[in-house]
């Protein structure tokens, strides 16, 4: 287990991206570009069918280290490449790679893999693959082909391999003008799923809240805040890479990027609107989690909402409000010894006094203070919807860090080092 953990905790991976014959093969070009931009080393393997849709050189132009054609296994010696270990190309690639990704997977390539054929580089690589490392497959084909009983039997056969995961297909207008299942997932989804794919499973669960609550005034108007839910994304990535099951509770207006993980086998996404609807979900889910990350921007007040739009002439100069439930305080009351909690304090000023008072009232395992401003009063937006913010970290009554400017990813890395390191 320790060996597997070290392998999949790598910041950057060696990835073999295999492309088979599907009209959606053009998306593999963007997959290559995005993976290399993120620092991963990519080598591309093409099937005969793929050569009908893409030109090999384009992958190297976009950052791939090497592009292999179907019969290169029989014409090139791996020993000619100093980076590869061994003289047989398909075996050497299986040793070099941390993950094999097939995107798109065609019905023909699926059949070849299930029959254990070794008639091209990809099929031989598939058979030589090391079973302690994952294979991620992204199918794309016509709806009728996808639903054919023989094709479904082949998918079932693949599912018997513990190290292989097959993504679902998307739904929509296909290249043949049919509508239905069979679309290759978006490039953004494929990248998100590749980067969080791991064979390590800890049987632990991380519960994350993110985005903004909504306080309805009537059936038309409501009070909310500018929280985008972006903070949750690096937390989701980190937890999935560590082998946790992740449950994310997101505000109704959170970033659509959370949807990129919906196909992940260990990810669950639920939405909330009001503080009360969030509290109800947490009441059920918190006892199941090992780590609770309270990054949602929860409103402090709510109205007594009207079922109809309030007319201007019926409004006075005041609106009746009441305080919302303090969810984090309740979670701390329910907390068991094994559970770790990260709390967030979104404040316009991150003074020692403000954060110390917050920590005294809610002594979480780690308090992350974030300096925020909606930007609506002719100021620059801070903390909401931005990639960077100013933070302070508090882990104890006398343990308060200085103010520091960090990207959300850097903040999450620091927070996770503190919390997950103790599990």
Active site residues: 176
What are the strands of the beta sheet with 66-68, ordered from one edge?
A: 66-68, 41-46, 14-19, 99-105, 135-139, 164-166
Buried b (16+ CB within 10 A) or exposed e, 201-237: eeebbbbbbbbbbbbbbeeeebbbbbbbbbbbbbbbb
Q: Is the peptide bond before 104 cis (omega within 30 degrees of 0)?
A: yes
CB 320 within 8 A of CB 345: no
Instruction: Give the sign of the dihedral formed by CA 98, CA 32, CA 181, CA 69.
Output: negative
CB 228 within 8 A of CB 211: yes
267-272/291-294 β-pairing: unpaired
Q: How many CA atoms lie within 13 A of 417 on its CB side?
A: 7
Interatomic CA distance for residues 14 and 146, integer angstroms:
30
Q: How many CA atoms lie within 13 A of 390 on its CB side?
A: 12
Q: If you ran DSSP here, which 8-state letter would residue 421 be given? A: G
Report CA dihedral (259, 264, 268, 269) to the nearest 10 degrees: 0
Count of Cβ atoms closer than 10 Å to residue 367 Cβ = 25
> What are the start-end ranges of the E strands in 133-266?
135-139, 164-166, 170-173, 179-183, 205-210, 215-216, 222-223, 245-251
Give every CB contact of residue 311 below 8 A, 6+ residues apart in sequence. none
How many residues are there in the chain? 423
Interatomic CA distance for residues 166 and 185, integer angstroms:
12
Q: If you ran DSSP here, which 8-state letter would residue 396 be given? A: E
């Amino acid at each position: 287990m320790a060996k597997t953990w070290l392998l999949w905790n790598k910041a950057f991976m060696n990835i073999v991206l295999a492309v088979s014959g599907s009209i959606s093969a053009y998306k593999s070009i963007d997959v290559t570009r995005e993976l290399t931009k993120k620092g991963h080393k990519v080598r591309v393997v093409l099937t005969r069918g793929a050569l009908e849709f893409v030109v090999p050189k384009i992958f190297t132009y976009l950052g791939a280290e090497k592009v292999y054609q179907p019969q290169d296994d029989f014409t090139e010696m791996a020993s000619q490449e100093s980076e590869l270990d061994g003289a047989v190309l398909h075996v050497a690639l299986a040793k070099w790679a941390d993950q094999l990704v097939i995107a798109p997977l065609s019905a023909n390539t699926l059949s070849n893999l299930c029959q254990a054929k070794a008639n091209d580089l990809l099929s031989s690589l598939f058979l030589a693959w090391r079973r302690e490392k994952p294979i991620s497959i992204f199918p794309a084909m016509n709806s009728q082909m996808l639903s054919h009983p023989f094709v479904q039997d082949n998918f079932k056969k693949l599912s018997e391999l513990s190290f292989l995961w097959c993504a679902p297909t998307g739904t929509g207008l296909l290249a043949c003008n049919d509508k239905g299942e069979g679309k290759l997932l978006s490039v953004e989804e494929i990248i998100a799923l590749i980067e969080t794919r791991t064979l390590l499973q800890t049987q632990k669960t991380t519960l994350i809240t993110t985005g903004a609550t909504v306080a309805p005034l009537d059936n038309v108007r409501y009070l909310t805040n500018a929280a985008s839910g972006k903070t949750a994304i690096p937390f989701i990535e980190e937890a999935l890479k560590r082998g946790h099951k992740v449950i994310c509770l997101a505000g109704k207006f959170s970033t659509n990027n959370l949807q990129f993980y919906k196909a992940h086998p260990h990810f669950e996404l639920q939405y909330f609107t009001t503080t009360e609807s969030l509290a109800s979900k947490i009441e059920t889910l918190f006892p199941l989690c090992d780590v609770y990350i309270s990054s949602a921007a929860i409103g402090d007040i709510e109205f007594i909402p009207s079922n109809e739009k309030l007319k201007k002439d019926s409004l006075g100069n005041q609106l009746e409000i009441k305080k919302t439930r303090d969810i984090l305080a309740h979670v701390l009351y329910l907390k068991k010894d094994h559970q770790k909690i990260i709390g967030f304090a979104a404040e316009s000023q991150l003074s020692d006094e403000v954060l110390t008072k917050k920590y005294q009232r809610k002594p979480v395992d780690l308090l992350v203070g974030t300096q925020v401003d909606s930007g609506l009063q002719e100021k620059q937006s801070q903390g909401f919807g931005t990639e960077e913010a100013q933070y302070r970290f508090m882990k104890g009554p006398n343990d308060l860090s200085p103010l520091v400017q960090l990207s959300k990813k850097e903040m999450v890395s620091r927070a996770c080092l503190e919390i997950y390191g103790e599990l």
